[in-house]
Amino acid sequence: MTTSVSAREFDGRGGLDDWRYLLGGITATFRLGSFGAAARVVSEIAAAADAAAHHPDVDLRYPDQLRVVLTTHAVGGLTDHDLSLAATISDLVAGAGGTSEPAASQAVEVALDAIDIDGVLRFWRAVLGYVDAAPPDATDGVVAIRDPARIGPPFWFQQMDEPRRERNRFHIDVTVPHDVAEARIAEALAAGGTMVTDQYARSWWVLADPEGNEACVCTWQDRD
C-alpha cells in the first residue's frame, strides 16, 4: 500500500534537506570526494533499494558526483516509499562522508507548440526512439513522450488553436528547486537574457535570449 505525497506536502514535512521536488519526484545531488567512494555508495544504495523493493535512478559522474532521482512509477508521482528510501540514501551518503548540493538539482523538458499534437508527437517519438509518457490515470490522450532509458529530456506538446507566428514554437523548460529559481533567473538576465513574462510566477517565468529563443524557468510552486 502506497500513500501519494504532493509537492506541497513534501515541502512541509522537513527532514529531507538533501532533496528537492522536481517533475513528480525528488532529486538529490551529492559529492563523495572521489569516484571510487561514490561508486561504493552506489553499491550500498542498490542493496538498500533491493531490500525495500523500491528502486531509484542513479547517475554517477566524474570526479565524484552522484545524482539520485526517486519517484513511484506505478502511480506516476511521489509516495511515502520514495521518502523512506530518500532518508536511507541520505544516511548512507552522510556515513560515507559525502555532502549534498541541493541547488545543483534540475530537470529539463523540451516543449513544442502543435496544432495536430498526435501527428507531431508521432514524428518526434519515431525520430528520438522515445515512448509515450501518459500517466497511469490519463484520460485526455498522450501529450508527452520520454526516453525509455530515462536519460534524454522528455518532450511535451502544447495545444495551439492556430500557428504562433510572432514567437518560437519550440522552447526549453528548466525545472529547478524553488529556492534556486530567483538566482537562476538573475543569472540568465545578467547573461543578456530578457524577461518575456512573469505572469505565471512562481510556477514559471518565460525568458528569452538576445535573439528571442525562449526558455521557461519552472518550479513546483503555485500549481495546486
- The predicted pLDDT at position 30 comes to 98
Are residues 214 and 139 located together in one domain of the fold?
Answer: yes
Are residues 43 and 130 located together in one domain of the fold?
Answer: no
- Sheet bearing 155-159, strands edge to edge: 131-132, 144-146, 155-159, 107-114, 170-175, 214-218, 204-208, 194-197
Question: What total of structural domains would you count in the chain?
Answer: 2
Condensed to tens digits (0 to 9), the pLDDT of residues 189-211 reads 999 999 999 999 999 999 999 87
Distance from the Cα of residue 220 to its chain's centroid? 10
In the chain, % of residues over pLDDT 90:
75
Are residues 182 and 149 located together in one domain of the fold?
Answer: yes
Average pLDDT on 138-150 reads 81
- The predicted pLDDT at position 191 comes to 92
Q: Which of 70, 104, 138 is the last residue of a domain?
A: 104
pTM: 0.88
The domain that holds 24 is classified in CATH as: 3.30.1360.20
pLDDT of 134 > 90? The answer is no
Are residues 200 and 141 located together in one domain of the fold?
Answer: yes
Q: Could you list the residue range(s) of the whole structural domain that residue 16 is in?
A: 7-104
Are residues 68 and 146 located together in one domain of the fold?
Answer: no
Are residues 213 and 112 located together in one domain of the fold?
Answer: yes
Are residues 62 and 163 located together in one domain of the fold?
Answer: no
The domain that holds 136 is classified in CATH as: 3.10.180.10
The whole-chain average pLDDT of the chain stands at 92
| pLDDT confidence bin for 167, thresholds 50/70/90 | low
pLDDT of 54 > 70? The answer is yes
2 domain residue, yes or no: no
Are residues 56 and 149 located together in one domain of the fold?
Answer: no
Q: Which of 50, 76, 104 is the last residue of a domain?
A: 104
Distance CA 176, CA 156 (A): 17
The SS3 assignment for 50 reads helix
Q: Which of 104, 120, 151 is the last residue of a domain?
A: 104
| pLDDT confidence bin for 138, thresholds 50/70/90 | low
| pLDDT confidence bin for 118, thresholds 50/70/90 | confident
Q: Identify which has the larger pLDDT, 201 or 115.
A: 201
